[in-house]
Amino acid sequence: MKSLIEGSYKPAIGKMVPDTVRVYLRRSISPFTIIDSAKALTDSLGYGLYNFSRAKYDSLYYLTVSHRNSIETWSKFSMPFVDDLQYDYNRFGKAFGNNMTKKETCGVSIAEIQ
């Protein structure tokens, strides 16, 4: 998953300070119960590898990104959990309620969120 954290991202160099991010898997129906969570250290480009052991294959989940200095951000839609689920919060419109801040664009990618 890719998520660039506002305040950690440095537009002048196109990178961010690596930091710890927690991602939650939530049921796709109310009350959106947390099924699993994983924590990872992102790299300077915002990529993190998150492993979930309690997710059921092909079940629908929302992804929720949590960082100690940022607003919690949910994926815009629930999605099926598959072996190689990839999600890029840096694409505009990928967060619920468009909970993103556009700082600069790099091609078609949004360079900063949260």
Asked, for residue 33, whether it belongs to a domain, the answer is yes
How high is the pLDDT of residue 101? 62
Encode the chain (114 residues) as per-residue pLDDT tens digits. 888 787 788 878 888 899 999 999 999 999 999 999 999 999 998 888 888 899 898 899 998 988 888 778 888 889 888 877 777 666 666 777 666 666 554 433 333 333
How high is the pLDDT of residue 12? 81
pTM value surpassing 0.85: no
Q: Where are the alpha helices (DSSP H) in 1-114?
A: none
In sequence order, what are the residues at sequence separation of 6 or more whose Cβ sits closer than 8 angstroms to the Cβ of residue 38?
22, 23, 50, 51, 52
Asked, for residue 4, whether it belongs to a domain, the answer is no
How high is the pLDDT of residue 35? 96
Asked, for residue 64, whether it belongs to a domain, the answer is yes
Asked, for residue 3, whether it belongs to a domain, the answer is no
Asked, for residue 30, whether it belongs to a domain, the answer is yes
